[in-house]
């Protein structure tokens, strides 16, 4: 289950990114003479509070502030076109932060391809006890209509989430409940069908995904017990595949005079039962329980922090009735050094861990998965990194980093071949769905970014990443780019008019040819692509914003996944209304 960090800012509404705003630290009451003056005010909840609980780091560690993994989505209202910046989310266009004065918002947009997008976010305090209740409804759908596509390429996705929480002087708690429903079509058929005059009326490409999820979190500001998160998700599709996942993660810390001792525990269980695959009439089942312990000790002062620890994960696995247990030990070492305070910081470390791969998460990354594939965790034996970040000038910041990572059972998407001899084919068995293949992969990565901030008038972000891969069994990684570049420009013309332009480039990618491994590289090249998106907005009042968004403006009909062409030029227009009930 994902955590939902919701923001009512214009940028979040336009780019569908989640905001990770850091919480302000509580101010300590100061005594005057022998008297103590206590100032008490009612806690004002926001959507960020309702759907996210943040950790307050002791110092500005790189491991806390490191950039999120780059994510692409094929759907950019509705089919790809959005390339997320390497820093994890777009900078805010609306520098006036009008949303902070309003607890609630509503958004509606409509575009070509019969695209409909709607959002409603509400959060209100309850009484005077710092309690809050919130809800978020999100919907996006498209009627499809990609050129030269023979099957239905429409889709829709709706989410509804509720939350209830309270923030107290010594602790805070939060509970969540939600549901999701979505529809997609396996429209990416092989090119051979066009030659053989294949009868597409035989194919029903529709797939439906659904889930219900609940979660709870409790955080204490005093004592050794720091936090506990628990969440459960039940996920199923239209082919009777189903999955249950439960995660509980308690955290402990002990503050000592010059260091802090941490003990992080986690139990992550997933049980997946796939559909009858129609080939051997068997139902594939997988279950994995990952038990992890990550003890560490952190030393710090004003000029450095050093965390020394190790991680241990025991995997109790069962794949199609066969037990597959293993023990993974990995480093947890992180160091940060303020070479020039507030100007230059160096950081390095060696970390690892086990990623629990689930049907729900993988279908969220690639909804064109077949409802039957091999499922197992990915083990990161080590990820060694070193970098430097800081300021070149008061409005110019940078970050450069190098990583060397070693992974076992790295999951990669690959198209399932078309089997002409298979009788009674399902809608995903026409060479139009994806499975997974696994390999041991080492990755060397170079990453860099520059960020310019011209006093809120304009912001410019540049980022780039280069990857070099080495595999044990295959020639190439599949559906993973060799390089990525992103340029983002945000500009406020006036207090009412603003614009945002984003250009993303994704480098060479490969698809497995299906041929036996040999010294010849005969894998299919998917090619690189770039994507240009522009948003223009106008705020006639503090509560209303009118926007127009152009996506894939270069009309690049590239393949986001093998055989899956994205929509061409897209235009979406709409409005946002911010309001309070009180």
**What string of DSSP letters covers 499-545?**
EEEEEEEE---EE---SPP-SS--PEE---EEEEEEEEEE-SSSSEE
pLDDT at 224: 95
536 vs 301, more confident:
536
Separation CA 286–CA 303 (nearest Å): 48
Separation CA 248–CA 235 (nearest Å): 18
> Residue 503 pLDDT more than 50?
yes
The answer to whether 555 and 579 are in contact (CB under 8 A) is: no
Q: End-to-end alpha-carbon separation of the chain, Å? A: 32
pLDDT at 192: 79
Written as six digits, the tokens of 93 are 């266009």
pLDDT bin (cut points 50, 70, 90) of residue 518 is low
> Residue 43 pLDDT more than 70?
no
Cα–Cα nearest to 109, from 581, 577, 579, 582: 577
Q: What is the mean pLDDT of residues 275-301?
A: 86
pLDDT at 22: 34
> Residue 83 pLDDT more than 80?
no
pLDDT at 32: 35
Written as six digits, the tokens of 445 are 């990565």
| Three-state secondary structure string covering 185-233 | ECCCCCCHHHHCCCCHHHCCCEEEEEEEEEEEEEEECCCCEEEEEEEEE
Exposed / middle / buried, residue 24 (Cβ in 10 Å: 0-12, 13-18, 19+): exposed
Bin 350: left if φ > 0, else alpha if -120 < ψ < 50, else beta: beta
Domain range spanning residue 332? 10-20+41-579
pLDDT bin (cut points 50, 70, 90) of residue 582 is confident
**What is residue 582's three-state secondary structure?**
coil
DSSP string, 63-80: HHHPPPPP-EEEBSSSSE
Angle at 245 between CA 241 and CA 249, to 5 degrees: 170
pLDDT bin (cut points 50, 70, 90) of residue 508 is very high
> Residue 562 pLDDT more than 80?
yes
pLDDT at 268: 98
Query: What are residue 7's phi and psi, to 5 degrees?
Result: -125, 145
Identify the weakest region by mean pLDDT among 64-68, 175-179, 488-492, 549-553. Answer: 64-68
The rounded percent of the chain whose pLDDT value lies above 70 is: 80
Identify the weakest region by mean pLDDT among 42-51, 82-91, 173-182, 531-540. Answer: 82-91
Q: What is the mean pLDDT of residues 28-35?
A: 36
pLDDT bin (cut points 50, 70, 90) of residue 10 is very low
Q: Is residue 305 part of a domain?
A: yes
Q: What is the mean pLDDT of residues 412-435?
A: 92
pLDDT bin (cut points 50, 70, 90) of residue 205 is very high
The answer to whether 308 and 333 are in contact (CB under 8 A) is: yes
> Residue 100 pLDDT more than 90?
no
Peptide bond into 78 cis (omega under 30): yes
Cα–Cα nearest to 375, from 359, 355, 354: 359
Q: Is residue 3 part of a domain?
A: no
The answer to whether 576 and 545 are in contact (CB under 8 A) is: yes
Written as six digits, the tokens of 363 are 């279908």
pLDDT at 442: 98
Written as six digits, the tokens of 120 are 């409603």
Give the model confidence (pLDDT) of 207-266 as tens digits. Answer: 999 999 999 999 999 999 999 999 999 999 999 999 999 999 999 999 988 899 999 999
Q: Is residue 223 part of a domain?
A: yes
Separation CA 406–CA 444 (nearest Å): 9
Q: Is residue 36 part of a domain?
A: no
Q: Is residue 376 part of a domain?
A: yes
> Residue 574 pLDDT more than 50?
yes
Number of domains into which the chain is organized? 1
Q: Is residue 241 part of a domain?
A: yes
Mean pLDDT of the chain: 84
pLDDT at 516: 63
Give the model confidence (pLDDT) of 337-396 as tens digits. Answer: 999 988 999 999 999 999 999 999 999 999 999 999 999 999 999 999 999 999 998 899
Q: Is residue 391 part of a domain?
A: yes
- The residues, ordered by sequence, that sit 6+ positions from 364 with a Cβ below 8 Å of its Cβ are none
pLDDT bin (cut points 50, 70, 90) of residue 277 is low
Separation CA 175–CA 72 (nearest Å): 29
> Residue 3 pLDDT more than 60?
no
Under DSSP, the state recorded for 405 is E
Under DSSP, the state recorded for 16 is -
CATH of the domain at 552: 2.40.170.20
**What is residue 106's three-state secondary structure?**
strand
Q: Is residue 191 part of a domain?
A: yes
User: Could you give the dihedral angle defined by the CA atoms of residues 97, 101, 107 and 112, in that order, rounded to the nearest 10 degrees?
Assistant: -20
> Residue 524 pLDDT more than 70?
yes
The answer to whether 339 and 345 are in contact (CB under 8 A) is: yes
């Amino acid at each position: 289950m994902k955590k939902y960090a919701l923001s009512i800012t214009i940028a979040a509404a336009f780019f569908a990114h989640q905001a990770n705003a850091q919480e302000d630290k509580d101010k300590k009451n100061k005594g005057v003479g022998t008297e103590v003056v206590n100032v008490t005010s009612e806690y004002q909840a926001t959507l960020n509070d309702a759907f996210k609980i943040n950790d307050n780091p002791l110092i500005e560690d790189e491991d806390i502030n490191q950039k999120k993994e780059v994510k692409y989505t094929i759907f950019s209202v509705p089919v790809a076109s959005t390339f997320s910046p390497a820093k994890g989310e777009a900078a805010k266009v609306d520098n006036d932060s009008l949303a902070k004065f309003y607890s609630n918002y509503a958004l509606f947009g409509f575009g070509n391809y019969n695209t409909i997008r709607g959002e409603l976010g509400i959060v209100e305090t309850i009484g005077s006890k710092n309690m809050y209740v919130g809800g978020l409804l999100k919907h996006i759908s498209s009627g499809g209509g990609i050129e030269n596509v023979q099957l239905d390429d429409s889709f829709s996705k709706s989410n509804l989430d509720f939350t209830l929480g309270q923030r107290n002087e010594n602790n805070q708690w939060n509970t969540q409940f939600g549901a999701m429903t979505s529809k997609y079509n396996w429209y990416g058929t092989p090119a051979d069908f066009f030659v053989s005059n294949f009868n597409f009326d035989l194919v029903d490409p529709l797939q439906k995904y659904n889930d219900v999820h609940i979660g709870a979190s409790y955080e204490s500001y005093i004592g050794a017990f720091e936090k506990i998160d628990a969440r459960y998700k039940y996920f199923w599709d239209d082919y009777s595949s189903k999955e249950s996942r439960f995660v509980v993660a308690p955290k402990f810390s002990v503050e000592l005079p010059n260091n802090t001792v941490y003990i992080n525990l986690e139990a992550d269980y997933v049980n997946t039962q796939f559909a009858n695959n129609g080939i051997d009439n068997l139902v594939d089942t997988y279950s994995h329980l990952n038990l992890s312990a990550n003890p560490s000790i952190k030393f710090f002062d004003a000029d450095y922090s050093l965390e020394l620890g190790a991680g241990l994960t025991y995997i109790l696995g069962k794949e199609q009735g066969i037990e597959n247990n293993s023990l993974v030990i990995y480093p947890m070492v992180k160091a940060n050094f303020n070479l020039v305070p507030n100007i230059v910081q160096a950081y390095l470390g060696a970390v690892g861990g086990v990623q629990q791969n689930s049907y729900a998460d993988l279908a969220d990354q690639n909804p064109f998965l077949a409802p039957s594939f091999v499922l197992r965790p990915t083990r990161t034996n080590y990820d060694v990194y070193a970098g430097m970040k800081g300021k070149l000038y008061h409005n110019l910041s940078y970050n450069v980093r190098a990583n060397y990572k070693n992974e076992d059972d790295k999951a990669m998407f690959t198209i399932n071949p078309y089997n002409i001899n298979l009788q009674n084919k399902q809608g995903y068995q026409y060479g139009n769905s994806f499975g997974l293949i696994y390999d041991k992969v080492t990755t060397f990565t170079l990453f860099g970014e520059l960020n310019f901030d011209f006093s809120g008038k304009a912001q410019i972000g540049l980022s780039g990443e280069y990857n070099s891969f080495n595999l044990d069994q295959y020639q190439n990684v599949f559906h993973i780019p060799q390089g990525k570049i992103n340029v983002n420009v945000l500009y406020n013309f006036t207090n009412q008019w603003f614009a945002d332009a984003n250009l993303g480039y994704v480098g060479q990618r490969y698809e497995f040819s299906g041929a036996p491994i040999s010294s010849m590289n005969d894998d299919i090249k998917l090619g690189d692509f770039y994507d240009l998106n522009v948003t223009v907005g106008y705020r006639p009042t503090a509560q209303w914003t009118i926007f127009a968004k152009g996506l894939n403006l270069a009309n690049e009909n590239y393949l986001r996944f093998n055989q899956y062409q994205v929509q061409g030029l897209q235009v979406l227009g709409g409005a946002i209304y911010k309001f309070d009930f009180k």
